Structure 1
Amino acid sequence: MRGRQLRRAEICLLVTVAAVPVAACGSERETVERPTVPRGMDRQADSDADRLAAEKAALDAYAGYLAASRAASGRSDPHAPELSRFLADPLLTRVQMSILQAKEHGAMRTGTLKSDPTVTSVSLDSKPATVEIQDCLDATGYRLVYAKDRRVVPGSGGGRHLATATATRYPDGRWLISSGAAHQDQPC
């Protein structure tokens, strides 16, 4: 029994001796958690991370918007639930009306729409936060056709043109595409 008590005392002494040099060199928090960073640098790293996260979320919402609108246009379904997952008004209503008008005229969209978006600006300090996106849309393989016989609707040929969009962060944290414009007079 006495040997066991001596062994415990030796272990406690060893732990105490081992811990003293660490405490003497700096605070335990600085040594264990993270190295000292110059004042302001940690805020810069946080803002860079926030900016990158906003860019990624906005581009994901934009890609979702394009995919959802292609799918809804292909089914002639202006009330497709996936539209509201990626779009907000006023753009949501414009897209729904466009799909509805095509449906009323017996037309639908078919084919592929190629996209190459880039973020042009990020404004996290504005209320609400926004991200501006610019894209070169290639609609050469994306056509408006008559639903009955798949003939191309005259005057609806696509090309490559500039498009812009705004992603907005809503109070629930979601990034949605709230506005957009196709600049068909500006080829890219």
Structure 2
Amino acid sequence: MWRDMAEAGETSDWRSPTLSRYATGDALSTISRGMYADHLNGFVYKGRPKNHPKVTSVDPSKDPNTVLISDCGDSTHWLKYRVDNDKLADNEPGGHRSITAEVKQQSDGKWKVTRFAVEGIGSC
């Protein structure tokens, strides 16, 4: 999901079909709304985030259909820039952020992120 989001963020393409490959529901809505706002405000992203997700729980324990994941994502090399002058848009240089996500098996058998939360820089 983060790779697809980073790729779409290069042009702030909130309509990119790849965004729904690994995200649905609230997660997809959050990503699309953020990309749309960045598009309107003239922002794009450069670089890629680094993630090392770990499963923290499964439900039910036998034959699970819901998985909770935690991560300490690194956005040091995935930054927001202004399209009009190619300068950094944020005062923060990126860094490590605590991420939690809920991933559910869909009716077609695919697993997708249904919701996620990203905390501030230095939260992990």
Output the TM-score relative to the length of structure 2: 0.91
Instruction: Say whether the 8 Å CA contact 1:77–1:100 is kept in structure 2.
Output: yes
Match of 1:172 in 2: 108
Q: 1:71 aligns to what SS in structure 2?
A: helix
Question: C-alpha distance in 1, partners of 2:61/2:76?
Answer: 38
1:119 paired residue among 19, 32, 55: 55
Trace 1:35-74 onto structure 2 (pairs within 5 A): 65-74=1-10
Which structure has greater strand proportion? 2
Q: Please say if 1:157 is aligned against 2:93.
A: yes
Higher relative contact order structure (alpha carbons within 8 Å, sequence separation ≥ 6): 2
Q: Kindly state the Cα deviation for residue 76 of structure 1 after the two structures are TM-superposed.
A: 1.3
Q: 1:113 aligns to what SS in structure 2?
A: coil
Match of 1:145 in 2: 81
Moved runs in structure 1, 4+ residues, more than 3 A?
Answer: none
Q: Which amino acid aligns with 1:73?
A: G
- Residues paired across the two proteins, number: 123
Q: Which amino acid aligns with 2:14?
A: P
Which structure 2 segments of 5+ residues have no match? none
2:71 paired residue among 135, 138, 141: 135
Which structure has greater helix proportion? 1
Output the TM-score relative to the length of structure 1: 0.61
Q: Which amino acid aligns with 1:149?
A: N
Q: 1:76 aligns to what SS in structure 2?
A: coil
Task: Quickly say closer, same or farther: Cα 1:182–1:145, change in 2 above 3 A.
Answer: same
Identity of aligned residues (%): 27
Which structure 1 segments of 5+ residues have no match? 1-64
Q: Kindly state the Cα deviation for residue 186 of structure 1 after the two structures are TM-superposed.
A: 5.2
Q: Kindly state the Cα deviation for residue 111 of structure 1 after the two structures are TM-superposed.
A: 1.3
Q: Kindly state the Cα deviation for residue 140 of structure 1 after the two structures are TM-superposed.
A: 1.0
Look at both structures and tell me which one has the larger radius of gyration over its CA atoms: 1
Question: C-alpha distance in 2, partners of 1:70/1:89?
Answer: 19
Aligned Cα root-mean-square deviation (Å)? 1.8
Question: C-alpha distance in 1, partners of 2:45/2:32?
Answer: 13
Q: Kindly state the Cα deviation for residue 129 of structure 1 after the two structures are TM-superposed.
A: 1.8
